[in-house]
Every structure is written in structure tokens, then in C-alpha cells.
RNA sequence: GACCCCUUCGUCUAGCGGUCAGGACACGACCCUUUCACGGUUGAGACACGGGUUCGAUUCCCGUAGGGGUCGCCA
């Protein structure tokens, strides 16, 4: 049997970070088993669903490189099929019309709560004849759910979950306007799409029991369920807007790499022994449900950042430059041209060990693109004392004489100078840094000079010496 | 309120009856060092509580406490 998983977001906002993890696990499991990963947009709530949200979700999934198979299925386009299934159940006596008013339902819930009973519909229209129907009321269609016994969800993560059928009421399948509810739509779509494994958030666990009743009523095979524990904020409450960024796209904007995001999300609730940095290839090879924990995990920005540092360090220079260029361009107020991109790429080896995010990378690289004369920041200005400027002038003269303009040769010159002057390298390098970059923090000065090239470097030093 | 679930360092977790309870992030110290980082070494840091079962419980069972989820003609 080929495994078929799916991710089924409702397009009412950005891709939630929890949704991103759900999508990742579905994708991984499909890849691990050689199965298929499908995408379904649950847009049956026409009020809240928007095209922008759909675009944002697809965009985030693309960013995370979680590619799905085929075209996304739009649930709203399948309402006729959903209604057809409801009619079938009606014809088979698996469902019935209910003429309760909203007021009746509310009252039912309130009295149930007051008496400490489970809040559920009491099934008053279960066996009543249609002739008793009040005039002018459009009925809903409800499932004739089993009232005795129990429904057990054999969950791959949570284990066997047993729920007494008495706890579950006759859920609405078709609204009074004839449109399907989520419960019906999910089951019909999962069945029609051939979904074999339903992997989703823990918040759907009790829904699984209800959905099983629909599968059983239709005599359809029940898929394997795997309910993932939710992601919580640092305070232990369900992750929400007040915790800061909850949308996947926000992390892209903060300069996180998709592979870092995947690794972090994977480890949040899943483990493979002591392994921490797990490549996507390894994840595909190792992923299975038995590695998933049962308790909710807190989102930890620091750990994500540490992982991002690792992935930046091993990433390809040209790719990093390409990803950093727009961020840098925004800071500079202009778009980087080919030459700029080439400079950024060349600078990458000495930059990528010092940035935790691409945003930080852009900040750190900015000085390379500031035109002469260098405008030193406050700290750099302090370093550029008259004595320092004198030393820079001397040094510039010596550096002009090097045959090969590369980092080791330049370092040799400066070291020699420092030794003769009886100074530590730091005493000499720091003014150089200030003169070249206008900052007191930068990549190693010899690398900086090598990147700038002979002409630009000497010009910057001469500027500083002359001031 | 009813039902279901969860509980190992601050955080993510390993552990699947006998371990000095391991790793990672964060934190402290030291080393490396031209700045900032990286890196290396090292330190502190946990089995929620109470009963059982057992020769022996972090591990199995039952309670308690705490936390979470679900109870819509939302998804």
C-alpha cells in the first residue's frame, strides 16, 4: 500500500508555525515511505478564507521546500460531492434531518453544563417523523451516531484513545443552507484523495473520533491517525500572536534558512537519539512516528538561532549572497548589481561564521558597499587618533609594496610592522579596521583588504591618514 | 463543568527495571585570538508529589497536583 499523506490548512491567515511543522511531518513521512504528500485547502468557510491567505501559505510551503504532489485540492469546489455523500447517508438511514433552532441548541448546552452533563445535542429529532417538522424551518442533516459502546482511535503518537460514544453527539453534516460542515468535508475528501495517514495537530484528536464515525457509517476504511502535540510559547500556553512571530513567513524575514527551520521544527517534538543537526536527507531516512513525543513543546528562538548559525556556516557562498542581497539592498536603498553580488559572494567565507541570521549578515556586510570616504562610527572615530593616523600612513606605504595582494601577504607585512614597533597586532589592526570599515567590529582586516583589493584598500587608508 | 491527553536540567530531549540519568541550546569559567564571532575544554543544572508492584523504580500500576486539548449550522 502506498502511503498518502496530506496537509490541509484553512486559508484564514499566514502559515502558522505549528502548521509548518505539521506539513513537514506529513512531507517527511511520505518521503520516508516513498509515498505521496498532497495539499488540500480547506476553504469551506467562505467568510474567513481569502486568496491572500492561500497565496501566503503556498509561498511559505515553497520557501520551506515542502513540495506537494499535483494541484492543491480546494475543498470549496467539492461541496456537491460532500452533499451527495450526505444524501447517501440519509437514504441509508445513517443520517437524519434535525429541525432544532439555534436557540434550542443553546439552551440545551446551557442546561447540560449547569447539570454537569456533557454538552451535546440530545438527539431529539433522531427518530421523529418528518411530518412533525415545524413549517418554514430548513433542517440540518445530522449523523445518526452510535449511542452506546465506544470509539477507539488507534493513534500512532498518542496510543489507543478510547472515547465513550455517549460523549459524542449526532454531529451536523450538512448545514441548513445545504453546505457541508468541516467534519463531513474532511472525511469525504480524505477518502476520495486516498489519504492513508492523517497527520495533524493534537487539537484534532477528539475530532478523529467523530470522523471515524462518519468513515464507519460510509463503510470506508479508516486512515491511520497521528496527532502531533501542539507547539507552545515560552510561557507554556498555546503559541499565539502575543508570543511574537507565529507565521512562517516572519522567520524568513528574520533571516532564517529553510533548512534550519526544518531541522528546528523536526527536533521540536521528535528525536532520534542524541542527534541534533539533522540534514533533510537524514530526516527523510530516519523519520518515523515512534520518534514523536507525546507532550507539547515550547518554541525556543535561541535554539532555532543556533541551528541557523550552523546552516549558514555550511551553506554555499553564492546562495548566501543571493539570499542576503535583497536585505542588504534594502539597507542601502538600492539594488545590488552583478558586481555587488560578486563582491558579496567573495566576502562570504569570512562573513558566514559571524552571522546568526541573514539579517545580521546584511548588517555585517554593509560597510563593503559604503563609498569613500569612510564615515567612521563613534567607536571607530575614537580609535582613529592622530597617532593612529600616522601609523596608518606608514603602514599604507609598506602595504603598497606587497607583490601579491592577498590576506597572508598582507598579514605578514602588518605583523612585521607591529613587531618592529614593539606592539601587539591588535594595536595595529584595530586602527586599520577603523580606517577600512569605519567600524570596530568586522571580519579579519586582512580578509577585508583582500576583498576590497589593492586600490580601494590603499585609498581608504590614505583617506584616513590624511584626515 | 464533562471528556481526553501530558509531566526528565531554564528550554528541546535521550532513556524503553539495575546508568556516575546522556546530548543540544541558553548560562558561568578557562583556552584560542587583530575586533566580533567560530571553535576547544570545563562548571552548574532535572526524573512534579504520594502510594503501590518488585530484590530493585526515572522507567510498570493507582491517586494527587500542575499543564494542555476538545466540547459550533468554525476549521
Q: What pLDDT tens digit does each residue of chain A (467 aa) get?
A: 899 999 999 999 999 999 999 999 999 999 999 999 999 999 988 788 999 999 999 999 999 999 999 999 999 999 999 999 999 999 999 999 998 887 877 787 777 777 777 777 877 778 777 777 677 788 999 999 998 888 999 999 998 898 999 889 999 999 999 999 999 999 999 999 999 999 999 999 989 999 999 999 999 999 999 999 999 988 877 787 878 788 999 999 999 999 999 999 999 999 999 999 999 999 999 999 999 999 999 999 999 999 999 999 999 999 999 999 999 999 999 999 999 999 999 999 999 999 999 999 999 999 999 998 999 999 999 999 999 999 999 999 999 999 999 999 999 999 999 999 888 899 999 999 999 999 999 999 999 999 999 999 999 999 998 87
Whether the model pTM is above 0.90: yes
Phi, psi of A144 (to 5 degrees): -85, 85
> Dihedral (C-alpha) A454, A455, A457, A462: value to the nearest 10 degrees?
130
- Separation of alpha carbons A457 and A467, rounded Å: 16
Grid look-up 548589481 returns A337
Decide: A226 and A263 in contact? Cβ < 8 Å. no
Of all nucleotides, the one whose C1′ comes closest to residue A414's CA is B34
A450, A444, A368, A455: which is closest to A406 by C-alpha?
A450
Q: Which residues pair with A292 in a beta bridge?
A: A270
Task: Count the alpha carbons within 13 Å of A46 in the hemisphere toward its beta carbon.
Answer: 5
DSSP for A115-126, written as a single string: TT-------TTS
Of all nucleotides, the one whose C1′ comes closest to residue A203's CA is B69
A450 touches strand B (CB under 7 A): no
- What amino acid positions of A are annotated as catalytic residues? 241
A444 touches strand B (CB under 7 A): yes
Query: For A107 and B72, how far is CA from C1' in angstroms?
Result: 14
pLDDT at A244: 78
Query: For A294 and B68, how far is CA from C1' in angstroms?
Result: 11
Query: For A145 and B58, how far is CA from C1' in angstroms?
Result: 42
- Separation of alpha carbons A8 and A28, rounded Å: 15
Residues in chain A: 467
Q: Is A462 left (phi over 0), alpha (psi -120 to 50) or beta?
A: alpha
Chain B nucleotides with an atom closer than 7 Å to a protein C-beta: 1-8, 10-15, 22-26, 33-39, 67-75
A105 touches strand B (CB under 7 A): yes
Q: Which three cell numbers stand for residue A346?
A: 567573495
Query: For A227 and B49, how far is CA from C1' in angstroms?
Result: 29
Decide: A228 and A199 in contact? Cβ < 8 Å. yes
Sign of CA dihedral A116, A117, A121, A125: negative
Q: How do beta strands A73-74 and A95-98 pair?
A: unpaired
Of all nucleotides, the one whose C1′ comes closest to residue A355's CA is B37
Grid look-up 569570512 returns A350
A162 touches strand B (CB under 7 A): yes
Q: Which three cell numbers stand for residue A206?
A: 477528539
A276 touches strand B (CB under 7 A): yes
Q: Which of residues 367-386 of A touch strand B (CB under 7 A)?
A: none
Query: For A342 and B30, how far is CA from C1' in angstroms?
Result: 40
> In whole angstroms, how large is the CA radius of gyration of chain A?
31
Query: For A88 and B63, how far is CA from C1' in angstroms?
Result: 48
- Separation of alpha carbons A359 and A435, rounded Å: 24
Q: Which three cell numbers stand for residue A232?
A: 507552545
Of all nucleotides, the one whose C1′ comes closest to residue A138's CA is B73
Amino acid at each position: 500500500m502506498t502511503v498518502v499523506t496530506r496537509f490541509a490548512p484553512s486559508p484564514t491567515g499566514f502559515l502558522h508555525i505549528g502548521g509548518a511543522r505539521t506539513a513537514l511531518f506529513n512531507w517527511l513521512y511520505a518521503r520516508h515511505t516513498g509515498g505521496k504528500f498532497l495539499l488540500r485547502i480547506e476553504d469551506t468557510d467562505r467568510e474567513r478564507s481569502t486568496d491572500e491567505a492561500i497565496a501566503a501559505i503556498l509561498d511559505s510551503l515553497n520557501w520551506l521546500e515542502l513540495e506537494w504532489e499535483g494541484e492543491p485540492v480546494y475543498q470549496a469546489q467539492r461541496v456537491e460531492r460532500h452533499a451527495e455523500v450526505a444524501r447517501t447517508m440519509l437514504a441509508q438511514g445513517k443520517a437524519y434531518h434535525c429541525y432544532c433552532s439555534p436557540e434550542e441548541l443553546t439552551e440545551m448546552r446551557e442546561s447540560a453544563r449547569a447539570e454537569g452533563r456533557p454538552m451535546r445535542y440530545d438527539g431529539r429529532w433522531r427518530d421523529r417523523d418528518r411530518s412533525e417538522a415545524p413549517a418554514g424551518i430548513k433542517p440540518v442533516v445530522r449523523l445518526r451516531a452510535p449511542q452506546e459502546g465506544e470509539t477507539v482511535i488507534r493513534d500512532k503518537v498518542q496510543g489507543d484513545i478510547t472515547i465513550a460514544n455517549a460523549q459524542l453527539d449526532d454531529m451536523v453534516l450538512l448545514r441548513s443552507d445545504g453546505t457541508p460542515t468541516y467534519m463531513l468535508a474532511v472525511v469525504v475528501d480524505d477518502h476520495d484523495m486516498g489519504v492513508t495517514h492523517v497527520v495533524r495537530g493534537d487539537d484534532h484528536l477528539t475530532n478523529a473520533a467523530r470522523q471515524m464515525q462518519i468513515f464507519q457509517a460510509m463503510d470506508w476504511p479508516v486512515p491511520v491517525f497521528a496527532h502531533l502535540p501542539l507547539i507552545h510559547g515560552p510561557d507554556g500556553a498555546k503559541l499565539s500572536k502575543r508570543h511574537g512571530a507565529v507565521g512562517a513567513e516572519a522567520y524568513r524575514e528574520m533571516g532564517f534558512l529553510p533548512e534550519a527551520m526544518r531541522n528546528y521544527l523536526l527536533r521540536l517534538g521528535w528525536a532520534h537519539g542524541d542527534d541534533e543537526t539533522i540534514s533533510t536527507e537524514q530526516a527523510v531516512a530516519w523519520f518515523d512516528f515512534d520518534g514523536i513525543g507525546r507532550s507539547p513543546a515550547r518554541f525556543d528562538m535561541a535554539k532555532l538561532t543556533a541551528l541557523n548559525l550552523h546552516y549558514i556556516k555550511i551553506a554555499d557562498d553564492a546562495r548566501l549572497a543571493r539570499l542576503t542581497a535583497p536585505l542588504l539592498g534594502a539597507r542601502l536603498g538600492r539594488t545590488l548589481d552583478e558586481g555587488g553580488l560578486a563582491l558579496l559572494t567573495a566576502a562570504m567565507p569570512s562573513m558566514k561564521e559571524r552571522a546568526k541570521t541573514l539579517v545580521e549578515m546584511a548588517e555585517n556586510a554593509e560597510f563593503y558597499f559604503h563609498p569613500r570616504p569612510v564615515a567612521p562610527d563613534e567607536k571607530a572615530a575614537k580609535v582613529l587618533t592622530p597617532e593612529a593616523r600616522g601609523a596608518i600612513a606608514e603602514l599604507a606605504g609598506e602595504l603598497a609594496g606587497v607583490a601579491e595582494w592577498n590576506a597572508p601577504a598582507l598579514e605578514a607585512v602588518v605583523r612585521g610592522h607591529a613587531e618592529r614597533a614593539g606592539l601587539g597586532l591588535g594595536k595595529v589592526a584595530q586602527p586599520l579596521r577603523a580606517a577600512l570599515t569605519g567600524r570596530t567590529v568586522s571580519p579579519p582586516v586582512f580578509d577585508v583588504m583582500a576583498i576590497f583589493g589593492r586600490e580601494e584598500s590603499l585609498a581608504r587608508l590614505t583617506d584616513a591618514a590624511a584626515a
